[in-house]
Amino acid sequence: MNSFDSAADLEGWTFHDLNNNGNNWVQGANWHLPDGEVILEAGTEQVLRYTTFPLSGIGYPNASTENDWAISPAIDLTSASGNILLAINWNRVLPKDVRNSAGRIIYISTSPDLAGFQLQEGTFDYYFTSDDVTFSTNPNEFSQSILDISVFAGQTIYVGLHSKVDDFTSLQLSPINIDQIGVFASELLSVDDINASKVLTQIVQNPVASSLKLQLNPAFEPTTTFVKVYNMGGQKVLATPYKDQIEVAALPSGTYIVHITNGTVVEKLKFIKK
């Protein structure tokens, strides 16, 4: 599950600006164009978005030449079975504009290599569109689309988003905001898997005064686990090999995101520094 609340949530994602114009996928405040107005306003929610809209006006310059990819970190479905769903909470910049379909094609690959995703261009097995949802005029309210990706049970997958204009109406053209994206499996292969999936790293005491105390996921090896702390602006403020107590006394008061990783799995927890 990824809520794109800070720049740190893009860790593990890869981005490819293939037309080298500096325009690409970004994390930031969602954009919204109220009906009848020409000034884009940012909502308060943080999203993953791609658009060539300027901050004012309604033009869409160079849309036909955009060619950029965002590819997710690895999603481990090797112990998953049953119904596997990809859920996306999203809205569009023009909530009342129904002249064209809005949405995105979802590319899924078992390799993170860009070439593998490019080979899938022209296939539309997975996509979500505005034809299936009703959008609020409130820029901070999102609709949900759910895609069945059960065919990938037992594999490790990567999700790709593309910006290149195609012949499937205007799916890759219309600017949208993705507030959350997550993968959910209804069944795991064994009781042990079910139990293990519920025992993740925990913060022992929150808010934190001077020491961040962690109770490590038993599936992680302490000697190969690394901890990173980010502020809400996405800046890394601390990085250290795992310890059950990590000194954070020097950090200013505020909210932080801690990433705990064993090299293949990343867990993200939020804590408050007093």
Report which listed range, 21-30, 128-137, 216-225, is most confident. 216-225
- Strands 226-231 vs 236-241: parallel, antiparallel or unpaired: antiparallel
Q: 7-188, what's its fold? A: Jelly Rolls (2.60.120)
State the pLDDT at residue 57: 47
Lowest-confidence region among 205-209, 247-251, 258-262: 258-262
CA angle 130, 111, 81 (to 5 degrees): 70
pLDDT > 90? residue 74: yes
pLDDT one-digit tens code per residue, 97-152: 544 567 788 999 999 999 999 888 877 778 787 766 777 778 888 888 878 888 89
Q: What are phi and psi of 127, to 5 degrees?
A: -160, 155
Which one has a higher pLDDT value, 84 or 64?
84
- Mean per-residue pLDDT for 37-50? 77
Three-state SS for 161?
Answer: strand
Rounded Cα distance, 49 and 175, in Å: 8
State the pLDDT at residue 61: 54
Lowest-confidence region among 69-73, 175-179, 224-228, 262-266: 262-266
Lowest-confidence region among 66-75, 129-138, 161-170, 230-239: 161-170
Q: And the tokens for 240?
A: 């250290």
Which one has a higher pLDDT value, 140 or 35?
140
Report yes or no on whether pTM surpasses 0.95: no
**How confident is the prediction for the chain on average, in pLDDT?**
79
Three-state SS for 130?
Answer: helix
Q: Where are the domains of the chain?
A: 7-188, 199-273
State the pLDDT at residue 198: 46
Which one has a higher pLDDT value, 132 or 221?
221
pLDDT > 70? residue 95: no
State the pLDDT at residue 227: 92
- Mean per-residue pLDDT for 207-217? 91
Q: 199-273, what's its fold? A: Immunoglobulin-like (2.60.40)
DSSP 211: E
Rounded Cα distance, 171 and 122, in Å: 12
Whole-number Cα distances in Å, 93 to 48, 66, 120, 145, 181: 13, 18, 27, 17, 18
Rounded Cα distance, 20 and 109, in Å: 24
Which one has a higher pLDDT value, 23 or 99?
23
Which one has a higher pLDDT value, 273 or 44?
273
pLDDT > 90? residue 252: yes
160 Cβ neighbours under 8 A, 6+ residues apart: 69, 70, 71, 72, 106, 107, 108, 109, 117, 120
Task: Report the 10 Å Cβ neighbour count for 82.
Answer: 12
Rounded Cα distance, 101 and 129, in Å: 6
State the pLDDT at residue 142: 86
pLDDT > 50? residue 13: yes
**Using an 8 Å Cβ cutoff, are 137 and 41 in contact?**
no
State the pLDDT at residue 121: 80
Whole-number Cα distances in Å, 199 to 122, 192, 207, 218, 272: 41, 11, 21, 7, 22
Q: And the tokens for 197?
A: 């999936």
Q: And the tokens for 221?
A: 């090896």
Q: Fold match between 7-188 and 199-273?
A: no
pLDDT > 50? residue 197: no
